[in-house]
């Protein structure tokens, strides 16, 4: 039976999703160990995306095959009982044998969350914080307490469509790969302000939907937009970046604000 699971997790204390050599705690390693113990199997998990260290998920999708016929709701409840509090199975369903969490996906959406204003210890774990009055971090001084949504959106609009995103990734994963395809199709990219009734902080979400993403692509894109605004780089100049043949030089937004939001099949 091929089981498809939708899971959410707080990635703060994990070294990413994927099992890695010499790394004890990843989301996948915890999930696999619990499923193996529960059902006396040695399962191979297939994931839709390999989120990095510190990145969260609202709708990560995994699937696995086991020779057991288990009611999906029973499986969900059983796994959740043994999982730590920062990982949760949201849905379980039985799917066709040819379903593959990664290769069957038509698109995926990432969301990046930012808050401004005074430091809020209850937001820091899940949002990137910027306070324009804190000049100790010159690297991120470009943000203001009130982000110009219309201006920001003009830069995001440039991303839409099929482009070579070689500039918007980190090269360490690809430098040994010949003829790497850096083309990706971005279906939507938008920024919006979120109503916040609990405190005085302003909350902003940036969502990007595409058919696929390169290594750290979302965080590099957002950092590049902010840098462009800070350095008075026009939208037309920003657009020319797509024609660049250079890799981005390790300029990324922090991981804590990034979420894998959803997959569509």
Catalytic residues: 52
Contact assessment for residue 258 and residue 55, using Cβ atoms and an 8 Å cutoff: yes
DSSP conformation class of 67: S
Length of the chain: 265
Contact assessment for residue 47 and residue 18, using Cβ atoms and an 8 Å cutoff: yes
Backbone φ and ψ for 60, nearest 5 degrees, come out as -65, 140
CA distances for 226 relative to 43, 46, 105, 208, angstroms:
42, 34, 30, 15
Backbone φ and ψ for 209, nearest 5 degrees, come out as -115, 130
Contact assessment for residue 111 and residue 55, using Cβ atoms and an 8 Å cutoff: no
**Taken in order 114, 115, 117, 119, is the CA torsion positive or negative?**
negative
CB neighbourhood size of 110 (10 A): 25
């Amino acid at each position: 039976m091929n089981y498809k699971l939708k899971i959410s997790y707080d990635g703060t204390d994990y070294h990413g999703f994927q099992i890695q050599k010499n790394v004890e705690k990843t989301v996948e390693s915890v999930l696999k160990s619990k499923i193996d113990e529960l059902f006396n199997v040695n399962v191979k998990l297939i994931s839709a995306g390999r989120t990095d260290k510190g990145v969260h998920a609202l709708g990560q999708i995994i699937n696995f095959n086991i020779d057991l016929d288990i009611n999906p709701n029973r499986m969900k409840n059983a796994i959740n009982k043994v999982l730590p509090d920062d990982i949760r199975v949201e849905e379980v369903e039985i799917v066709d044998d040819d379903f593959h969490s990664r290769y069957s996906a038509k698109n995926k959406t990432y969301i990046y969350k930012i808050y401004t204003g005074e430091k809020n210890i209850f937001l820091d774990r899940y949002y990137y914080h910027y306070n324009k009055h804190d000049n100790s971090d010159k690297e991120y001084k470009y943000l203001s307490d009130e982000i110009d949504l219309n201006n920001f959106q003009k830069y995001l609009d440039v991303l839409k469509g099929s482009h070579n995103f070689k500039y918007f990734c980190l090269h360490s994963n690809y430098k040994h790969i010949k003829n790497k395809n850096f083309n990706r199709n971005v279906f939507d990219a938008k920024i919006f302000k979120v109503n916040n009734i609990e405190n005085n902080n302003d909350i902003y979400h940036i969502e990007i939907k595409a058919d696929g993403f390169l290594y750290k692509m979302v965080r590099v894109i957002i950092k590049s937009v902010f840098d462009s605004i800070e350095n008075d780089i026009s939208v037309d100049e920003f657009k020319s970046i797509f024609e660049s043949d250079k890799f981005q030089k390790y300029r990324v937004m922090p991981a804590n604000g990034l979420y894998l939001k959803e997959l569509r099949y």
